[in-house]
Every structure is written in structure tokens, then in C-alpha cells.
Amino acid sequence: MQDFRDAAFHAIRQVLRIDKRVMVLTNDMGAMGLDVLREEYPDHVLNMGIAEQNLMSVAAGLAQTGRVVFVYGISSHMTLRCLEQFRLDVCAMKLPVILLGVGSGLAYGADGPTHHAINDLGAMGSIPGLSILNPADASSTFALVDWAYRQRGPAYVRLDKDAHQPLYDSCLFDWEHGFSTLRRGADLALVSTGMLVHRAVQVADVLASEGIQASVIDVFRIAPMNTEGIRRALQYIPLMVSFEEHAGPGGLGSRMAELIVDTELPIRCHRLMLPERFFLGAATRQWIHEQCGLSLENICQTVRGLIENPIVSSPLKNMAMTGRCEE
């Protein structure tokens, strides 16, 4: 299992071998891959201190001098703390600043809501012209960081903090496509992104053993979404179930619902996501998944219910949170 951050910094090292006009800025955040990079290219790594607003404005200024700037920090801080600087100084100017946010979703689970990135897609997804990438393994992380560098515009790459098993054998996949179909099945499509794609594969395996054939779609590029490609992938499937480690507004399910409406796709649509709450107190990722209907068993149960009974309520609607939650 390879760490997402190692893969991301390895991709930047490859880029730096041929392009010396690349800078990496961080808000005093460490990573082993960053240490390696710093050792090799000390003049290309700049610790900006814990001052994210200025970091983003400086990144914009550096990009204005003809550089591609990678910005690395914890997702929750690097998105919402300096959202306006990123939106106006970087994105409105269409500058090549690539935000590498570590700790997507609930990766920092027990560290509490200050470190949860479960509303970031809603906020960042509302910025015009921003590419949002959400890799599910190290190979796709490497490839998507490279893709972000090559597209020469603003991008946000969500990096999981935990290492996961490889999903993609190599980097030979056409990453421009924006999504991949990892399993093909005619009964339903499981659509997910990031680390939950692994769970989608597990769900498909469990369901297959019960005679239910599920497609598994990894939407690794949330924006701009390959609308036409995904529409085609879903066009002969009767049911789409999306699940994500993100609250509803602006998340993957929200975008899939928009896609289905906008393309007039005749498909049943069911979304599994996090509730719109702050998860105060200590709560591990796994525990929150179980509470919110996102565990392997929860999802299998929901899908069985949907297949057997077309009118089934979402587990979220009946969810009883036992942890401390702010309403």
C-alpha cells in the first residue's frame, strides 16, 4: 500500500526534473514525501508558516511570474480558511495553482470537526473553472497530480490520509476521461469517489454472491465532470446508488442528481452521504460510517432494500446519532 502523499510528491518530483518553474508551498505541514522533495529541490519548497490566506495570495503572485505552484496542507484548512484568496486571487485569474489537500472526508476522524473535510466539495465546487480531483489510490493520485500540472489552471486534489490497496494496476489509464468503470453489472450502478470506491468494489462483490450484478463507477474527477461519459455508462442501468464521505450539498450525490436531471436520464437515483452536522467529540472514521449508513453492511442492506422494494427510506432519515452532534 502506498501513501497518497508519497505518490503526490513523487509526481511533483518527476515534474521538477523537467520543469524548474515549479514551486511547492506549505502552511508548515509535514510529509515524508515533502521531506524527500525538499532534500532534492530545496529552492523549490517554501514553508509559508501558519498563515493560509497569505499563502494563497503569495501562490497567486508566484504563479503570475510564470510558475506552477503546488500548495500543500490539511484539506479543511486549505480550502475554507482561505477560500476567498483561492477563489479570487487564483481561480478568477485562471492561474496554475494546484491545491493538494490531505485528509479528505473523515480521514482525520477522531481529530474532530476542525479537521473534517466534509463540506469542501460544496464550497470548492462552486468556483468556476476549478478542476477537482479525488483519487482512490496511489496510482491514480500520481496520475491526477500530473494531470493537474499539465492542464495549466487551478486544481484541487483531495488526498486521503490513510493508505489504501491499489485499485489501478498502472498509470496507463486515460485519466482525461474523468471516471472509470471498475465493474460492469446490469442491475445497478454504484457510484463513488475517493476511498469509498474501495467499499463500492466490496459491495459489488457481496451483491454478486447474492446474484445482483452491480457496476462500479469511480468518479475521480468531480469537476468538470464527464457528464456525457457518465450518462452513457448509466443509460441502460435502472438504479444508481451514490455514496460518499461528504455532506449532501455540492457533493458527489448532489452532482449525480444534477447530471441525471440535466441529461433526462431515466434512472432511479439514491444517495448515501453524511448528514449536515458537525461531528463534535471523538469519532473514528469507521464509527461515523457505521452511524451514517456508509459501512459495508449498511450499504449492502440499502441496496438489497432498493432492489426488493422500490419505496425504501434512506437510513439517514431514521438515523439515530449516538455521538455528540450539533443540530
Partner 1 sequence: MNTTLLEWKAAFLRNHILKTALHAGKGHVAPALSWVEIAVTLFYGGHLHFRANEPRWEERDRFILSKGHGCLTLYAMLADLGFIPMSELLTFVKDGSRLAGHPDPDIPGVEVLSGSLGHGLGIGAGYCFGARLDQADWKTFVLLGDGECQEGSVWEAAAFASHHRLKNLLAIVDRNRLGATDFTEGVLQLEPLADRWKAFGWEVCTVDGHSFEELAKAFASFRLEQHDRPVVILANTTKGKGLDFMEDAPTWHHRLPIGPQADNALEFLHNQECQLAQFIQK
Q: How many CB atoms lie within 10 A of CB 318?
A: 8
Q: Which residues contact 124 (CB under 8 A, 6 or more apart)?
A: 79, 83, 86, 130, 132, 156
> Whole-number minimum distance, CB 70 to partner 1, in Å?
14
Choose the stretch contacting partner 1; rule: CB under 8 A; options: 34-42, 86-94, 261-269, 278-286. Answer: 86-94
Binding status of residue 299 toward partner 1 by CB under 8 A: no
Contacts made by residues 294-301, CB under 8 angstroms, sequence distance 24+: 294/196, 294/199, 294/243, 294/245, 296/199, 296/202, 296/203, 296/206, 298/272, 299/199, 299/203, 299/241, 299/243, 299/272, 300/203, 300/206, 300/207
Among residue numbers 164 through 183, which ones bind partner 1 (CB under 8 A)?
A: none
Choose the stretch contacting partner 1; rule: CB under 8 A; options: 65-73, 159-167, 190-198, 247-255. Answer: 65-73
Binding status of residue 58 toward partner 1 by CB under 8 A: yes
Phi/psi for 186 (5° steps) reads -95, -15
Binding status of residue 42 toward partner 1 by CB under 8 A: no
Binding status of residue 230 toward partner 1 by CB under 8 A: no
The residue assigned the cell 441525471 is: 260
Binding status of residue 121 toward partner 1 by CB under 8 A: no
**Between 85 and 192, CB nearer to partner 1:** 85
Choose the stretch contacting partner 1; rule: CB under 8 A; options: 57-65, 144-152, 165-173, 208-216. Answer: 57-65
Interface contacts to partner 1, rule CB under 8 A: 43, 46, 48-49, 51, 53-54, 56-67, 84-85, 88-89, 92-93
